[in-house]
Amino acid sequence: MKRPKTTNRYCPSCKKKTPQKVKEPSKGRPSSMKRGSKVRMKLRGLWRGIGNKGKYSRMKNQAKNKRKTTKKTNLMYTCTVCGKSKYQKKGKRTSKMVIE
């Protein structure tokens, strides 16, 4: 999906429609020490030994992770008049977003 670099949008601080720059914020990498992550479970000594280990007992299904091909895009709009920026969360579902 192609998007223009600037759009006219409502700015809540200017209280009118202003030209705003569109930017896709960079996706940060998720922390490996997240609650319930495999790295954390290994460090704590879980996920080892005998018996039922809950969700780590199951075989890893790799096809399950690649089921969805599109994602909702996060876009950031920056007002050119006042300089304030705002997120538009949960945009349209696309496989690829190109800002030109």
Nearer to Zn ion, 13 or 31 (CB): 13
Nearer to Zn ion, 1 or 82 (CB): 82
Nearer to Zn ion, 14 or 43 (CB): 14
Burial class (CB in 10 A: 0-12, 13-18, 19+), 20: buried
- Using alpha carbons, select from 46, 4, 2, 38 the residue that is nearest to residue 22: 4
Residue 15 is which amino acid?
Answer: K
Residues 22-81 that bind Zn ion (CB under 5 A): 79, 81
- When binding is defined by CB under 5 A, the residue of 39, 82, 92, 95 that contacts Zn ion is 82
Residues 5-24 that bind Zn ion (CB under 5 A): 11, 13-14
Binding site for Zn ion (CB under 5 A): 11, 13-14, 79, 81-82
